Amino acid sequence: MSSLRHDPAARARAFTLIEVVLATAILSVLLAGMGVALAMSAQAADLGNESNARAGDAARVLAQMHAEVAAATAIIERSEDSVEFTIADRDGDGAEETLRYEWSGVAGSPLVRSGKGLQARPILPAIDAFSIGIELQPPPIVTTANDRTLEEFRAHAAPSFAFMAITSSINAAQSWAPPQVPGIASYRISKIVIPYRASRSGTMRLRVFPATSDRPSSGTALVSRSLTITSTASAVAAATFELSPAITLNPGQSVWLVIEAPGSMRSPVELPVATGQRDQPVSGLLAVTSSTGSTWTYRVHSDLGFLVSGDTVSQLPTPRSRE
């Protein structure tokens, strides 16, 4: 023990009390500085996240505005701070719809969207500047090809199909939407053909509903047509429904084709149904119900046979926005 206390090398390896106190004070200052730096970094990150979120919201609103103004059929009012315009019917009531975007011109006030059936509400809570220009284009060009096939599905030619009976108490409904083809703004449906077979003559009815809900026969029918059909024995015939006036649909706007056999028939009308349509379904959804339409059952990967014909309206017409 005595040799350890008088060893100069052992004393060189130890710290004095003053050195320990100074080191602790310096370490405290460094830790305090690091804490301040971390707090400032966290605040900057929060501000950056908020800025990115606001930029994302603005981008989404501008994209929505651009799409809606690009689909306008007429400009009602326009200024530096607002624009009001009409677009084609989207809720199936046959009337064009009006949309309006408006900013008060005061920095920090919201951009408000309103229109038919829409309560005016801010879509951007606070903006500092807003301006929109409209470049008007020539009127729409309607194709001259009338009564050409827009889409056809031959269910009775599918690898797997069966006949489904519809009667005065059993209806069928096929979900369908026009194909989305670049350059096509809308479709005018003038004729729908439904393949069938029947052992006796009778009546078949077609009603077309906008697909705004899961119930095919909800709301007001876009069109209703009845047709007297004749006996076909075991052969497949075509029931042709002429639609006048024609139905106008936007690309991707879904409808229900509801097929009914109203009145009393001694034998049912049979419709060919393709089953197992997993690879290339038309819509992949067929619905069946009683005549009341209160409860529908759905058959996925199944489609009725049909043919839809009419003409198209090109997309050259539309006003274009310049934000």
Write down the H helix ranges in 71-175: none
Look up tokens 């029947």; give the residue.
198
As a whole number of angstroms, the distance between CA 68 and CA 106 comes to 25
Q: Taking the domains of the chain in order of start, what are their residue ranges?
A: 61-138+318-322, 148-314
| Contact partners, residue 65, CB within 8 Å, separation at least 6 | 101, 132, 321, 323
Q: Which of 189, 201, 193 is nearest to 155 (CA)?
A: 193
Residue 191 forms beta bridges with which residues? 242, 309
Dihedral (C-alpha) 76, 78, 84, 88: value to the nearest 10 degrees? 60
Q: Of the CATH numbers 3.40.50, 2.20.25, 2.60.120, 2.60.40, which one belongs to the domain with range 148-314? A: 2.60.120
- Give the number of other Cβ atoms within 10 Å of residue 81's Cβ: 16
Q: What was the pLDDT predicted at 1?
A: 42
Q: Is the dihedral of CA 300, 304, 307, 311 positive or negative?
A: negative
The alpha helices in 71-115, defined as continuous H runs, are none
Query: What is the rounded CA–CA span in Å between residue 206 and residue 220?
Result: 14
pLDDT at 48 exceeding the cut of 60? no
Mapping DSSP to helix (H, G, I), strand (E, B) and coil, where does residue 231 land?
Answer: coil
Q: Which comes out higher in pLDDT, residue 126 or 228?
A: 228
pTM: 0.53
What are the tens digits of pLDDT across the range 78-119?
A: 787 888 888 887 777 778 888 888 888 888 888 888 887 778
Average pLDDT, the chain: 75
